[in-house]
Amino acid sequence: MYENKKSCASSDCNGRTWESIDWNKCEQAVNKLQARIVKAQKAGKFGKVKALQWTLTHSFYAKALAVKRVTSNNGKKTSGVDKILWSTPQSKFKAIVTLRRRGYKPQPLKRVNIKKSNGKLRPLGIPTMKDRAMQALYLMALEPVSETTADNYSFGFRKDRSTADAMARCHSLLSKKTSAQWILEGDIKGCFDHISHEWLMKNIPMDKSILQKWLKCGYVYNRELFPTEEGTPQGGIISPTIANMTLDGLQNLLETHFPWERVSGKSGWYCPKVRLVRYADDFIITGDTKEILEHSVKPLVADFLAERGLTLSEEKTKITHITDGFDFLGFNVRKFGDTLLTQPSKDRTKRMLSKVKDEIKRFRGDAQHELIMRLNPILNGWANYYKHSAASNVFRKTDYQIYKKLWRWALRRHGNKCKGWVKNRYFHRIDGRDWVFAVKRKNEKHEEYFIPITILFNTKIERYPQLKCDVNPFDPEWKQYLEKRRTAKMKMSLKGKRSLISMWERQNRNCVLCGQPITAETSWHTMSQQKNGRNHLCLVHDGCYQSVTHKKKK
């Protein structure tokens, strides 16, 4: 009885402060409950799953982690319709006690429209801080169930999965000589906005009262309140998981309808090669012939979606041959003879170059080193996204386009100087490579060094380790495998930087400021920290570094 009471917010928060919370203890307690939920779900004990979910959503540790999540992510400075932010330790700690099921009523969403790449507007619904924290709390209880029941080849908005895993799966499906030759490129029209509320209430295994309140809370646009009759708000923390659970089951449906068939002939067996790869609401389905995809697979998918209130987008859904290639998640996948190449798509390359051009134009009056500091994060992020594909040729061509833009920037600044003078001032020879846009600096010993712009072509192309697609991050059975995989991916991202690898391992692979894991997916920074009267370099999350430097400036 005493142990159960200790987990409740009312008893566990007395005489404590936000700074005194032991986050490792919180995570251990929540992880233990999530592992028990997975075990009960696998055993088919759905009553026990419900009881464990109730325990988790009423525990002090889970509530504290929920508040921490919404006050440390990118949306921590964005308020909802109530214009309230939890920015101080006192307000964060008080917020933990307010996360109660009894009497909870979510406020309407703040509607904001953002531009999509095709020029259309995407509506986002921004909940209040309290509603976000409640969603984060109930997500902790829902995610172990969703991961246990999810499709193996669904990669979007899931723990320890990324676009790189989806592209590795595409490559393994399409690279062989005997692979499928036809691809159905699927896209769901307004997926988040049109999911049937009735279907969600019947099939999402969480507290129905809370779920209904979120679905029916409405939204405010131009100071006017509108009701929500369908869909789940795109912008809520729990929405991606609910959308994923809505689309789960499509893989099993296709495997059931298109199994190996016994036919007369040499082999005696025939496979239609219908396989699914999905990332959120974007998916591809492979097939042996165009007729199978057009007359059998597409109607089956349409019926599956119609049951959930969704429809395929006629504009974006098409059937293509592998030799013509298709774009998926920013990559172009195409077969040249028997060789499959996955490269950056032309559209994404143009978009990145346009972003670089805008940055150069926007900061044309800034110093060279400031421009380099602004461009390098864009170029590093783009190179890291595509470094597991056949991107060398695209990197080389893109480097040349960026060089031309920087050359024009340099000439514009010195209209009265000759080109040789401009070249010697802004472009240097570094490691045998000439015409590198870089700035000269001197260290404490008055030795010269360069701060260069990122050269995309210098990015080493590496093969991405394919994921075991039945992995469950909440199941203790997979803990060892996931730890090895995270370590391998981090070491891959730090290849050639042994000092950073040893620093990362010395810190137990965690950020020294927030205590959360530093992985290959999380952006990180090096900073100097004083320990025993000496300055030591350490690895921290990029967001933690920004908050520390911001406080110092203040």
Q: Provide the angle, in degrees to the nearest 10, between the axes of the packed helices 23-42 and 129-149.
A: 40
433: phi > 0 → left, psi -120 to 50 → alpha, else beta; which? beta
H helices of 43-122, in order, are: 46-57, 60-72, 89-98
* Lowest mean pLDDT, pick from 5-19, 63-77, 516-530: 5-19
**pLDDT at position 515:** 75
Please say whether the beta carbons of 234 and 228 come within 8 A: no
pLDDT above 70 for 4 = no
Strand partners for 125: 111
pLDDT above 90 for 358 = yes
**pLDDT at position 11:** 39
pLDDT above 90 for 500 = no
pLDDT in tens, 536-554: 788 888 777 776 765 555 4
Residue matched to tokens 């602004």? 374
- CA 382, 387, 393, 399 dihedral sign is positive
| Average pLDDT across the chain, whole number | 88
Nearest to 246 by CA among 295, 299, 197: 197
**pLDDT at position 368:** 92
Rounded percentage of the chain residues whose pLDDT exceeds 90? 65
Q: Are strands 219-221 and 109-115 parallel, antiparallel or unpaired?
A: parallel
Please say whether the beta carbons of 134 and 66 come within 8 A: yes
pLDDT above 70 for 3 = no
**pLDDT at position 431:** 87
| pLDDT, greater one: 442 or 332 | 332
| pLDDT, greater one: 47 or 448 | 47
d(CA 25, CA 6): 13
Mean pLDDT of the region 416-444: 90
Sequence-separated (6 or more) residues with CB below 8 Å from residue 199: 246, 307, 308, 309
pLDDT above 60 for 10 = no
pLDDT above 60 for 423 = yes
Please say whether the beta carbons of 438 and 427 come within 8 A: yes
Mean pLDDT of the region 272-284: 93
**Span between the terminal Cα atoms of the chain, in Å:** 48
Largest CA distance in the chain: 83
pLDDT above 90 for 235 = no
Please say whether the beta carbons of 70 and 128 come within 8 A: no
**pLDDT at position 263:** 66
Rounded percentage of the chain residues whose pLDDT exceeds 70? 92
d(CA 87, CA 77): 8
Question: Residue 478: pLDDT band by 50, 70, 90 thresholds?
Answer: very high
pLDDT above 60 for 526 = yes
Other Cβ atoms closer than 10 A to 321: 13
Strand partners for 437: 427
pLDDT in tens, 251-261: 999 999 998 77
**pLDDT at position 181:** 94
Q: Which CATH number fits domain 476-552: 2.60.40, 3.40.50, 3.40.1800, 3.40.91?
A: 3.40.1800
Residue matched to tokens 């000589």? 177
pLDDT above 50 for 6 = no
Please say whether the beta carbons of 171 and 218 come within 8 A: no
Where along the chain do its domains lie? Answer: 23-151+193-236, 346-458, 476-552
d(CA 364, CA 354): 15
Sequence-separated (6 or more) residues with CB below 8 Å from residue 80: 107, 109, 110, 126, 127, 128, 129, 131, 132
Mean pLDDT of the region 298-320: 93
pLDDT in tens, 361-375: 998 888 999 999 999
pLDDT in tens, 190-222: 888 889 999 999 999 999 999 999 999 999 998
